[in-house]
Structure 1
Amino acid sequence: MYRLPRQQYSWGVASIGYARVSTREQNPDGQTDALEAAGCAKVFVEHASGVLAKRPALEDALDYLRAGDTLVVTKLDRLGRSVRNLKEVADGLQERGVGLRALSQGIDTTTPGGRLFFHLLAAIAEFEHDLIVERTRDGLAAARARGRKGGGRLKLTPTKARQARAMYDEKTYTVQQIAETFGVSRGTIYRHLTEHAEPSVRG
């Protein structure tokens, strides 16, 4: 991968910012202003949905970071596609000796307390996700017991689409299982997955 020059920051550690907005119509200035105010020597800006697997600006930011640096975001949801993905990024940074700060949530993994808080937050979010999936399945089972079936006519709301994407990213559910969880057809799930240009879709 092409490695961006560190220029005048090559002599020492630095705070590097990462900002993301979902569309090109959205303005990232609020994030970039906050990151610069927090002392970021350089800010990488992404114009991409959080569910997209490929985010070039994030890849450049991660490639730019060195041991002792800190990656700074305004909020954790700017960084990860899902709780699992967020934890993978944070674990990768920690292995490289790079810190992570989330300004609005007061998280700083360069401190023992910050690392603990981050992992607690990730665990709570994962637990919440599992509860949503379990409740959805229980609701569908109850509906089927009353003679109603989850059908392909239903469409996924944006929230459910994100949840379906998170389940798919975990690599533990098939498309059929995800479809049954949300009471839609496999075609509906495939449609939402392929809209975001995933390289492959499991059956």
Structure 2
Amino acid sequence: MPLIGYARVSTEDQTPLPQSQALKSAGCAEIHEEQASGGNRARPVLARVLEWIGKGDTLVVVRIDRLARSLSHLLEMIERLEAKGAFFRSLEDPIDTASPQGKFTLQVLGAAAEFERALIRERTKAGLASARSEGRVGGNPGLRAKDPAALRKVRLARQDGYMERLNETAQDWVPQVRRLRPDLAWEDVVRIVNGPLMPDAQWTQPRLLRAVSAYVRDGFLPATVLERARRREKDDRLPAIIAGIKGADPSMTLQAICTRLEDMRERTPRGRSKWEPSSVKMLLARAERLGLLEKAAAETD
């Protein structure tokens, strides 16, 4: 059972060496290091590890706070691993999803999280009922009076909440949008972005456009990504799509690209649903001649 280590430090002043040594001692032959805040879910190294990890592999960390800073985020990461048939282990915490004891600990954590959410809901309901019984009307008085300052405050709070939710998934779509737009049409970009995602995490085109527009507005993406898609020759579309898939993960094999294209329901040049590695190799060669692979590699570096 391959063990894949993940070590994270928050600042450049810190070193991941102690974590890496502990992971190596635990039997991890492959260790990935990252410098990023634990509160930031858009971590490119972790995103690549979660993309590459396969069935039977185990993701290992020294402590669970190296992977996630909240229970909900931890459970989300473990669900993603389980969906791939992979496991999770923390060296200093009693969590090893490959063992019955570790699974039980995870179930307890999940129950605790659900219990906490239920308590919050009950407290909210009780507070509203108490307010009504005393003749008090719930809500913000400024909003009821349509005060401009109160309305602006709520609007900004909602916007901050939306951006926070986007930041949690940014690693899933920002690199691809930056690399693929405006070379590809939005419908193709959405399909490439959705390729490695679980069904409940996939994007619709309107949702992705809204997210991209918000990131452009705040300066996280260049305005060029919203430009009209460049017109392509009919024979150039498939090489561009395959270059986009390869650019997202240069280590992908030809067979893996075939599987991704079939999942996207992309037809071969001859209109077939089943892809062969030889067809992908031919289109990759064409993409290279067109300069599409060179561009993808340059923007990935």
Change (3 A) 1:190 1:196: same
Q: State the percentage of identical aligned residues.
A: 42
User: What is residue 33 of structure 1 aligned with on the other side?
Assistant: 21
8 Å CA contact 1:52, 1:81 repeated in 2: no
- Which consecutive unaligned segments of at least 5 residues does structure 1 have? 1-12, 140-144, 146-183
Query: What SS does the aligned partner of 2:55 have?
Result: coil
- Counterpart of 1:173 in structure 2 is none
Which residue of structure 1 lines up, in the alignment, with residue 102 of structure 2? 114
1:61 maps to a residue whose letter is V
- Cα distance change of structure 1 residues 114 and 192 upon mapping to structure 2, 3 Å threshold: same
Equivalent position amino acid for 1:18 in 2? Y
Aligned twin of 2:51: 63
The answer to which structure, 1 or 2, has the higher relative contact order (CA under 8 A, 6+ apart) is 1
The normalised TM-score by structure 1 is 0.58
Structure 2 length normalisation: TM-score?
A: 0.42
5 Å-filtered alignment, 1:6-85, equals 13-85=1-73
1:52–1:196 contact (8 Å) kept in structure 2: no
> 8 Å contact 2:94–2:105 — kept in the other structure?
no
Shift of 1:121: 2.2
Q: 1:69 and 1:80 mapped to 2: Cα distance? A: 19
Q: Render the CA deviation track for 1:98-148: whole Å, top value 9, x for unaligned.
A: 111011013110112211211212432554577689889x99xxxxx9xxx
Letter in 1 for 2:26: A
Q: Assess, with a 3 A threshold, how the Cα gap between structure 1 residues 194 and 66 changes in structure 2: closer, same or farther.
A: closer
Letter in 1 for 2:24: E
Distance 1:25 1:31 in 2: 15
1:102 paired residue number: 90
| Deviation of the 1:33 alpha carbon | 1.4
Return the letter of the residue paired with 1:29.
Answer: L
Rg larger in structure: 2
1:86-165 map, 5 Å: 86-125=74-113, 127-128=115-116
CA distance in 2, matches of 1:134, 1:31: 41
Alpha-carbon distance in 1 for matches of 2:165, 2:11? 13
Amino acid at match of 1:101: R
How far 1:188 sits from its partner (Å)?
7.8
Letter of the structure 1 residue corresponding to residue 80 of structure 2:
G
Could you tell me how far 1:82 is from its partner in structure 2? 2.7
Query: Number of matched residues?
Result: 158
Q: Is the 8 A contact 1:83 1:126 kept in 2?
A: no
- The 8 Å contact of residues 15 and 72 in structure 1, kept in 2 or not, is answered as yes
Question: Which string of whole-angstrom CA distances, capped at 9 and with x for unpartnered residues, describes residues 26-79 of structure 1?
Answer: 221221111111100111111111221310111121123111111001111221
Give the match for residue 161 of structure 1.
none
